[in-house]
Amino acid sequence: MTDEPRRATIHQVARLAGVSHQTVSRYLRHDAGMKPDTRQRVDAAVKALDYRPNLVARSMRTRRTDRLAVVLPSPHWFPVRLMIAASATAHAAGYQLDVVSAEGSTEERIAELADSGQVDGILSLAPVDSPPDTRIPILVSGTYDQEMHGAGELADGSAVSEIVEHLAGLGHRTFFHLAGPPNYTSARNRKLVYLETIARLGLRSYGVADTNWSAQAGYDAIAALPADSGVTAIIAANDGLAMGAIRATTDRGLRVPEDVSVFGWDDEELGRFATPALSTVAVDREAQGREAILHLIATIRGEPAPAKSPRDLNQLVFRESTAPPPD
């Protein structure tokens, strides 16, 4: 029976790379100030020796785990784009990211995680009424509610005002709104801004359809419009509704955008490749993930919170589905 080979040590890595063991430690912490040639030598030595740091020993010594936790309110929905950006940002700063579900009381799950000693900080995407008093930083994003409906910035409806103003500037005067489900804060906010902007500009709204989020719902609502409605501009609360609206408009013998303009929301990939390509609102969920993790890491390190990006979360994207109305 042969003995298992011993794990390489940080001192062996240092000797092979021709550096001090403190320099290897800086490499393992992803120190951005390390010279590129030094980083390359240490990286080559780590790979040659198949060096794997003893994370348990390091955690006991430094009282750091180099791990962060993101708490989601539900195990059944995952904000993919936000989490990909959050994970990449954490990794670039030398942290691993654990994703856990609250599955009950968010406050109790956070307190349990904090007491476990397994993470250095917690980002909660679920709302927290009263953050528990813990020894590690907790950042509450408020991005989603308990049902994973968009909240906070994701529920901001102000871009609808820009959409209406843009279409009015093209000459449209009669509008219709596909609003989405009223139990979503985002749908309610977009509907409210739509109605306020229509009134402020003295335009005509033929009506608002409180639908679900599906393309079928968008199709059915537009298919039911009277032939003499006069609607030349349709504003949908998501891209699925908008795509259904385009199909229904076409089936009625009308052209998009020559007869009717359609505007969506979310900038889903399918809308970019549709015919016509869909005008929509691009939501920068990646920026949310990056900024939340950078804020949490700064808090852990006792550094000032980084400045938020000056770019708005929601950006209007003008494509082929919008144009001036017919004469």
pLDDT digits (tens, 9 = 90+) for 134-192: 778 888 875 554 444 445 566 678 899 999 999 999 999 999 999 999 888 888 889 99
pLDDT, greater one: 150 or 203: 203
d(Cα 241, Cα 222) in Å, to the nearest integer?
10
Element (H, E) at 188: helix 185-201
Report the pLDDT value the prediction gives residue 41, as an integer from 0 to 100: 92
Q: Report the percent of the chain where pLDDT is more than 90.
A: 44
> Does position 305 have pLDDT exceeding 90, yes or no?
no
Report the pLDDT value the prediction gives residue 112, as an integer from 0 to 100: 85
CATH number, domain 10-53? 1.10.260.40
Report the pLDDT value the prediction gives residue 148, as an integer from 0 to 100: 45
Average pLDDT, the chain: 85
Report the pLDDT value the prediction gives residue 190, as an integer from 0 to 100: 93
Mean pLDDT, residues 235-254: 97
CB-based contacts of 118, cutoff 8 Å, min separation 6: 65, 67, 69, 98
CB-based contacts of 205, cutoff 8 Å, min separation 6: 174, 175, 176, 177, 194, 195, 198
Structure token pair of residue 261:
């303009």
**Nearest alpha-carbon partner for 318 in 169, 190, 203:** 169
Q: What is the pLDDT of residues 51-95, one digit of tens each?
A: 876 554 454 444 577 899 998 876 666 778 888 999 999 988 889
d(Cα 107, Cα 71) in Å, to the nearest integer?
10
> Does position 228 have pLDDT exceeding 80, yes or no?
yes
Report the pLDDT value the prediction gives residue 326, as an integer from 0 to 100: 93
Q: How confident is the model at residue 245 (pLDDT cuts 50, 70, 90)?
A: very high
Residue that is written with structure tokens 């009277």 in the block: 226
The CB density around residue 302, as the number of other CB atoms within 10 Å, is 7
Local structure of residue 119 (DSSP, 8 states): -
Residue that is written with structure tokens 């402020």 in the block: 200
Fold of 64-149+287-310: Rossmann fold (3.40.50)
Burial label for 134, CB within 10 Å (0-12, 13-18, 19+), is middle
114-123, 194-203, 254-263, range with the lowest pLDDT = 114-123
Element (H, E) at 138: strand 138-140
Angle formed by the axes of helices 36-48 and 21-28, to 10°?
Answer: 90
* CB distance 102 to 305 below 8 Å: no
CATH 3.40.50.2300 in the chain is located at: 64-149+287-310, 153-283
CATH 3.40.50.2300 fits 153-283, yes or no: yes
Report the pLDDT value the prediction gives residue 56, as an integer from 0 to 100: 47
Q: How confident is the model at residue 108 (pLDDT cuts 50, 70, 90)?
A: confident
Report the pLDDT value the prediction gives residue 147, as an integer from 0 to 100: 47
CATH 1.10.260.40 in the chain is located at: 10-53
Q: Is 55 helix (H, G, I), strand (E, B) or coil?
A: helix
Q: Given CA atoms 259, 265, 267, 270 in this order, what sign does their dihedral have?
A: negative
Report the pLDDT value the prediction gives residue 227, as an integer from 0 to 100: 93
Report yes or no on whether pTM surpasses 0.95.
no
Q: Given CA atoms 294, 296, 297, 302 in this order, what sign does their dihedral have?
A: positive
Backbone phi, psi, residue 170, to 5°? -80, -15
Mean pLDDT, residues 185-203: 94
End-to-end CA distance of the chain: 90
Q: Which residues pair with 317 in a beta bridge?
A: 280
> Does position 36 have pLDDT exceeding 90, yes or no?
no
Angle formed by the axes of helices 36-48 and 10-17, to 10°?
Answer: 120
Report the pLDDT value the prediction gives residue 29, as an integer from 0 to 100: 63
* CB distance 230 to 206 below 8 Å: yes
Residue 323, by phi and psi: left (phi above 0), alpha (psi -120 to 50) or beta?
beta
37-41, 55-59, 89-93, 309-313, range with the lowest pLDDT = 55-59
Cis peptide before 79 (omega within 30 of 0): no
Backbone phi, psi, residue 140, to 5°? -100, 115
Half-sphere exposure (Cβ direction) of 294: Cα atoms closer than 13 Å: 16
CB-based contacts of 291, cutoff 8 Å, min separation 6: 306, 308, 309
pLDDT, greater one: 310 or 82: 82
Q: Is 244 helix (H, G, I), strand (E, B) or coil?
A: helix
Q: How confident is the model at residue 243 (pLDDT cuts 50, 70, 90)?
A: very high
Report the pLDDT value the prediction gives residue 34, as an integer from 0 to 100: 81
